């Protein structure tokens, strides 16, 4: 069973955060109740800065908060979002295991879900029957859209308390998503892309320098911490390398979060840098985390954007779909322009935060055949992103020559314009 020990390891790695993390979700002992673990997560998260709320990011441009502090806030909310995704994956796995012992009960989403191949959260997960999964998901989509509680009741039957406390645990993340879901409109996303293509950022550097820049900005925010963005980048890459994956795959591990540099260039806060992503311009899926918060989005009631397909068409392909702007999209465009990464690698970067799709199988009706292949790649990558933090922290100096060589192999221009 894959376990969450990141809090424990992070407590060790973060002297300053040790008190916050030492009672956090530790190694998942199958004998422990899930609800207790989740409650523990809630306690940890409640101690984390209250400043991750929307008001803080609104003040970002007011210069009231020094840049170093901003970096810390970004790191915190991104960690929380990642932890929630780990938690979701584990809940899903446990629910699936429990469901294996239950009999189907007719035409319900529960029974449809029960027929899905169960994902095991291991590094080698590549679902061989995605077509079957998509087919079942298409059938359940209408039911799910009409009554999301059906799915919730399915989980409730397994462990009601776990889900109620999961909600409690997510207060900070919820605040973050309330702001993000209210502000990621079609208009904002078009403008963000115009800005990206037209504004001069004057940030020419190598990929490694970009990693160091991101690392420095975040590290300086918390002088006591040892774990940083470059650690996550290297841990992800090293886990991929350890498993003998191709060199391009390893490079994806290294650079997949590099787009967080966006936070220091042209973002409006945290909400347009980190967090799960989703399409804009069509109906927001109930499978997106905290779906009710989309009611505050101006597009929610716009008849152009609130139908199933919205501005898109059936199976148009995700490359035609505008995903909410953030570090995934930003880095995807950079990598597409400057790197020799294969399409699978670019997809891993672009979709790694698109949890509603690669974990919840939402928006399958927008996928084309190409996306089916990309989904396999993104799923393969996701396990490394989620779980590599449990491993030993890397020796940056020792690994640097290997990764400099790897970067040179796939970024022939060396100095690129971020
Ligand atoms: Fe990311
Ligand atoms: Fe990541």
Least confident of 79-83, 223-227, 358-362, 388-392: 223-227
The single residue listed with the structure tokens 């209408």 is 142
Among 282, 275, 400, residue whose Cα is nearest residue 325: 275
DSSP secondary structure string, 83-121? HHHHHHHHHHHHHHHHHTTSPP-SSSHHHHHHTSPPPP-
Side-chain half-sphere CA neighbours of 279 within 13 A: 31
Residue 356 reports pLDDT greater than 70? yes
**What average pLDDT score do residues 239-243 get?**
94
Instruction: Find out whether 296 and 178 touch, Cβ atoms under 8 Å.
Output: yes
14 is in an annotated binding site: no
DSSP string across 295-319: GGSGGGG-TTTSSSSTTS-TT--GG
- The mean per-residue pLDDT over the stretch 389-411 comes to 92
219 known ligand binder: yes
**Distance between CA atoms of 171 and 53, rounded to whole angstroms?**
10
Q: Give the range of the structural domain holding residue 265, as residue numbers without chain letter.
A: 6-417
CA of 215 to the centre of ligand 1 (A): 14
* 8 Å CB contact between 85 and 276: yes
Instruction: Work out the burial of residue 81: count CB atoms within 10 Å of its CB; fewer than 13 is exposed, 13-18 middle, 19 or more buried.
Output: buried
Contact 394, 231 (CB under 8 A): yes
**CA of 93 relative to ligand 2 center, distance in Å:** 21
- Lowest-confidence segment of 42-56, 152-166, 400-414 by average pLDDT: 42-56
Closest listed ligand to the CA of 381: 2
Neighbours of 413 (CB within 10 A): 10
Could you count the other beta carbons within 10 Å of the beta carbon of residue 135?
A: 12
Q: Is 232 annotated as a binding residue?
A: yes
Closest ligand to the CA of 262 = 1
Interval between CA 112 and ligand 1 midpoint (Å):
31
Please give the distance, rounded to the nearest whole angstrom, from the Cα atom of residue 80 to the centre of ligand 2: 12
Distance 385 CA to ligand 2 centre (A): 5
Q: Is 67 labeled as ligand-binding?
A: no
pLDDT reported for residue 169:
53
- Tokens, residue 65: 């908060």
Confidence (pLDDT) at 181: 98
Segment 198-217 shows an average pLDDT of 88
The 3-state DSSP class for residue 223 equals: coil
pLDDT band for position 75 (cuts 50, 70, 90): confident
Binding site annotation covers 32? Answer: no
How many Å lie between the centroid of ligand 2 and the Cα of residue 239?
13
Domain count, the chain: 1
Higher-pLDDT residue of 52 and 188 is 188
Per-residue model confidence as pLDDT tens digits over 123-133: 444 444 677 76
Dihedral over alpha carbons 107, 113, 115, 120 (to 10 degrees): -170
* 81 CA to centre of own chain: 7
Which residues lie across from 416 on neighbouring strands?
A: 205
Is 29 one of the annotated binding-site residues?
Answer: no
Q: Is 275 annotated as a binding residue?
A: yes
- Residue 167: the pLDDT is 59
6, 206, 236, 237, 252 from 241: Cα distances, Å? 20, 22, 9, 6, 11
How far is ligand 2, taken at its centre, from the CA of residue 256, in Å? 6
Query: Ligand 2 centre from 202 Cα, in Å?
Result: 25
For ligand 1, a single-atom ion, which residues have Cβ within 5 Å? 257
- Specify the pLDDT at position 146: 44
Angle at 293 between CA 90 and CA 147, to 5 degrees: 70
> For residue 136, what pLDDT band results from cuts at 50, 70 and 90?
low
**Nearest ligand to the C-alpha atom of residue 389:** 2
Kindly give the distance from the C-alpha atom of residue 404 to the centroid of ligand 2, in angstroms, as a whole number: 20
Q: Please say if the pLDDT value at position 10 is more than 80.
A: no
Share of the chain above pLDDT 70, in %: 65
Summarize the confidence of residues 58-72 as an average pLDDT: 55
Q: In this structure, which ligand is nearest to the CA of 277?
A: 1
Kind plus residue range of the DSSP H or E element containing 240 = helix 229-242
User: How many angstroms separate the Cα of 122 from the Cα of each of 125, 127, 242, 253, 361?
Assistant: 6, 11, 14, 16, 18
27 in a structural domain: yes
Which ligand is closest to the CA of 235, given by its number?
2
User: pTM value?
Assistant: 0.73
Known binding residue 164? Answer is yes
What is the reported pLDDT for 83? 81
Share of the chain above pLDDT 90, in %: 49
Number of residues that make up the chain? 418
Nearest to 346 by CA among 407, 255, 221: 255
267 pLDDT more than 50: yes
Residue bearing the bigger pLDDT, 31 or 209: 209
398, part of any domain: yes
Can you tell me the mean pLDDT for 314-343? 97
Report whether 417 belongs to an annotated binding site: no
CA 218 to chain centre: 19
In a domain, 1, yes or no: no
Any known ligand binding at 202?
A: no
Residue 222 counted as domain residue = yes
Q: What is the pLDDT of residue 20?
A: 33
In tens, the pLDDT along 95-117 reads 777 777 664 444 444 444 444 44
> Is 70 exceeded by the pLDDT of residue 32?
no
145 is in an annotated binding site: no
Mean pLDDT computed over every residue of the chain: 76
pLDDT band for 201, please (50, 70, 90 cuts): confident
């Amino acid at each position: 069973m894959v376990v969450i020990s990141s809090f424990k390891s992070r407590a060790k790695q973060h002297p300053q955060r040790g008190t916050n993390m030492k009672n956090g979700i530790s190694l998942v002992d199958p004998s422990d109740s899930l609800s207790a673990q989740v409650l523990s997560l809630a306690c940890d998260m409640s101690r984390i800065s209250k400043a991750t709320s929307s008001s803080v990011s609104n003040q970002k441009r007011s210069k009231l908060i020094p840049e170093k502090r901003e970096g810390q806030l970004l790191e915190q909310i991104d960690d929380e979002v990642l932890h929630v995704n780990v938690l979701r994956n584990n809940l899903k796995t446990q629910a699936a295991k429990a469901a294996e012992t239950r009999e189907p009960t007719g035409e319900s989403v529960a029974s449809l879900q029960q027929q899905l191949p169960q994902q095991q959260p291991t590094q080698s997960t590549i679902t061989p029957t995605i077509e079957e999964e998509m087919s079942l998901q298409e059938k359940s989509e209408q039911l799910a859209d009409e009554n999301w509680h059906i799915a919730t009741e399915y989980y409730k039957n397994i462990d009601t308390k776990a889900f109620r406390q999961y909600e409690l645990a997510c207060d900070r993340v919820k605040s973050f998503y309330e702001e993000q879901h209210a502000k990621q409109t079609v208009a904002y996303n078009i403008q963000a892309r115009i800005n990206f293509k037209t504004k001069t950022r004057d940030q020419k550097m190598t990929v490694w320098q970009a990693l160091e820049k991101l690392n420095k900005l975040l590290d300086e925010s918390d002088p006591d911490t040892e774990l940083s963005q470059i650690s996550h980048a290297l841990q992800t890459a090293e886990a991929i390398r350890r498993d003998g994956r191709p060199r391009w795959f390893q490079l994806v591990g290294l650079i997949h979060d590099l787009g967080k540099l966006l936070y220091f260039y042209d973002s409006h806060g945290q909400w347009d840098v980190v967090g799960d992503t989703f399409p804009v311009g069509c109906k927001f899926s109930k499978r997106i985390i905290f779906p009710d918060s989309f009611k505050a989005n101006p597009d929610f009631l716009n008849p152009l954007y609130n139908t199933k397909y919205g501005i898109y068409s059936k199976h148009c392909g995700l490359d035609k779909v505008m995903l909410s702007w953030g570090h995934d999209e930003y880095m995807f465009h950079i990598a597409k322009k400057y790197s020799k990464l294969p399409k699978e690698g670019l997809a891993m970067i672009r979709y790694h935060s698109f949890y509603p799709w690669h974990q919840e199988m939402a928006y399958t009706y927008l996928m084309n055949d190409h996306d089916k292949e990309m989904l396999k790649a993104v799923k393969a990558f996701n396990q490394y992103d989620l779980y590599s933090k449990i491993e030993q922290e890397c020796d940056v100096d020792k690994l640097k020559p290997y990764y400099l060589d790897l970067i040179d192999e796939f970024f022939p221009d060396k100095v690129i314009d971020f």
